[in-house]
């Protein structure tokens, strides 16, 4: 397991380095899309929201760019976990095993990105994107500001994107019901970021653009 995170700020990135990240990310996302179209499309939706939320938070261009890259890649650990995740199971014990294995995907993604030379900021944003603000998340039960800023932003956008997407066992929530659901679990989120996110979702123009993307995805 990785060391406990430092509070990283995004280092300045050269144009060449960002181009390298972009090209490598496209290759990784293509591999994910070939294995799991839902997860790749979900990651694209998260990345769209991250850009708007980062602007609302007043994050600088380097942090915004790196969190946007992290959003596209946040579930790539599912590629390595796919051996078990994408097999339908009726046996309860196997379903439980799938759920436990799913919880390893942040660390598996972290390992991939570390091996490929991504920045620590991106690595830790992905490793900790399932941490909850109250310390109840995984993989390290981090809490509060010990969770890297990138992971805190991803956590909120990831949950909202998942709730507003149709899945085999339930219909998609509309934006209002998704926000209500998140408010009921608001202890999981950084409140300052969550309030900015709520304002973003309630902005009529932004919501219109997001709804277009959501309709396309759920049809």
pLDDT digits (tens, 9 = 90+) for 196-219: 999 999 886 666 666 555 545 455
- Whether 29 maps to a domain, the answer reads yes
121 has a pLDDT exceeding 90: yes
The span from the CA of 75 to the CA of 190, in Å, is 21
The span from the CA of 25 to the CA of 109, in Å, is 12
4 has a pLDDT exceeding 60: no
| Structural domain range at position 160 | 15-218
Q: Locate tokens 């990283």: which residue? A: 8
- Whether 6 maps to a domain, the answer reads no
Segment 125-166, tens digit of pLDDT: 999 999 999 999 999 999 999 999 999 999 999 999 999 988
Nearest to 218 by CA among 159, 155, 158, 168: 168
Nearest to 8 by CA among 113, 216, 164, 147: 147
Q: Which runs of E-coded beta strand occur in the chain?
A: none
Chain center to CA of 172 = 18
What's the total number of domains in the chain?
Answer: 1
Query: Which residues are registered as beta bridge partners of 170?
Result: 167
């Amino acid at each position: 397991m990785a060391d406990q995170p430092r509070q990283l700020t995004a280092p300045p990135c050269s144009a060449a380095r960002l181009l390298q990240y972009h090209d490598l990310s496209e290759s990784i996302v293509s591999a994910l899309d070939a294995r799991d179209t839902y997860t790749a499309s979900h990651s694209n939706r998260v990345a769209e929201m991250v850009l708007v939320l980062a602007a609302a938070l007043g994050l600088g261009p380097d942090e915004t760019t790196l969190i946007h890259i992290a959003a596209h890649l946040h579930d790539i650990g599912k590629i390595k976990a796919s051996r078990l995740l994408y097999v339908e199971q009726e046996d309860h014990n196997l379903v439980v095993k799938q759920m436990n294995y799913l919880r390893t995907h942040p660390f598996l993604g972290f390992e991939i990105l570390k091996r490929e030379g991504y920045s620590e900021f991106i690595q830790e944003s992905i490793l900790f994107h399932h941490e909850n603000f109250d310390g109840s998340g995984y993989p390290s039960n981090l809490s509060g500001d010990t969770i890297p800023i990138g992971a805190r932003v991803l956590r909120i956008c990831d949950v909202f994107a998942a709730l507003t997407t149709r899945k085999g066992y339930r219909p998609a929530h509309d934006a209002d019901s998704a926000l209500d659901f998140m408010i009921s679990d608001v202890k999981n989120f950084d409140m300052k970021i969550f309030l900015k996110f709520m304002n973003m979702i309630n902005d009529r123009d932004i919501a219109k653009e997001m709804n277009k993307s959501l309709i396309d995805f759920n049809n």
